[in-house]
Amino acid sequence: MIDFEALYSISYGLYIVCSGDKTKGNGFISNTVFQVTAEPARFAACCNKDNYSAQFIQKSGIFSVSVLHKDTSPDIFGRFGYKSGKDFDKMEGMQIRYGETGVPIVLNDAIAFLECKVVQTFDVGTHLLFIGELVQSEVLNDALEPITYLYYRQIKKGVAPKNAPTYVDKSKLEKTATGSAFKKFKCTACGYIYDEAKEGKKFADLPDDWVCPICGSEKEDFIEV
């Protein structure tokens, strides 16, 4: 038997993984970055084959990791975690620094960054697991705490989309409540659920300029579920 709730007890952080060069870069939100060896310091980053970013990492052989803090703007999750660079330039308007290898590093809401050169790539089915050797790293802000995936899910009420390795189909977890006066509304961009019962407020009563707390999408982008 597989209890999908058990998978939530694995801990992760949340990062923007970027790749490319000074002419063109792209990045995605990842919760699957972790250190695999100390000497030399090497890190794994797991990237869905369908992510636009996968092409950048494969082509350039480098990636950066921006470590996000607990109060990271929902726009950052919206831009890098729910939208693809295939559709627009994600780096436009962002604060970017270029690493020693020329890889773009997103500084918005970053409290530290790593820059890694790919030394091995493993095909793990739906995803590619890149192993990168550390070239450079720096703390940018030691006053703020890094965000964990648990905090993102429980406090920010965030969800991971299908391309995330840790995506869990909600139907495997929840039984649908019936006969309740309260309704649930789902953000069509990021999947966030506004639950009237939990929030104590009808969705219709939210102000018109209310936006999704996870990805910044507007009220009209929600559907009743």
Ligand X SMILES: Cc1cc2nc3c(=O)[nH]c(=O)nc-3n(C[C@H](O)[C@H](O)[C@H](O)COP(=O)(O)O)c2cc1C
Catalog residues that contact ligand X under the rule CB under 6 A: 14, 26, 28-32, 46-48, 51-53, 77, 80-86, 127, 152, 158, 160-161, 163-165
Contact in structure between 103 and 91 (CB atoms under 8 Å): no
Of 117 and 127, which CB lies nearer to ligand X in the complex structure? 127
Rounded to a whole number of angstroms, the minimum distance from the CB of residue 50 to ligand X is: 7
Of 46 and 103, which CB lies nearer to ligand X in the complex structure? 46
Of 151 and 183, which CB lies nearer to ligand X in the complex structure? 151
Burial 56-80 (b: 16+ CB within 10 A, else e): bbeebbbbbbbbbbbebebebbbbb
Rounded to a whole number of angstroms, the minimum distance from the CB of residue 188 to ligand X is: 14
For residue 58, the SS3 value is helix
Contact in structure between 224 and 183 (CB atoms under 8 Å): yes
Rounded to a whole number of angstroms, the minimum distance from the CB of residue 7 to ligand X is: 14
Rounded to a whole number of angstroms, the minimum distance from the CB of residue 204 to ligand X is: 27
Residue for token pair 């972790």: 34
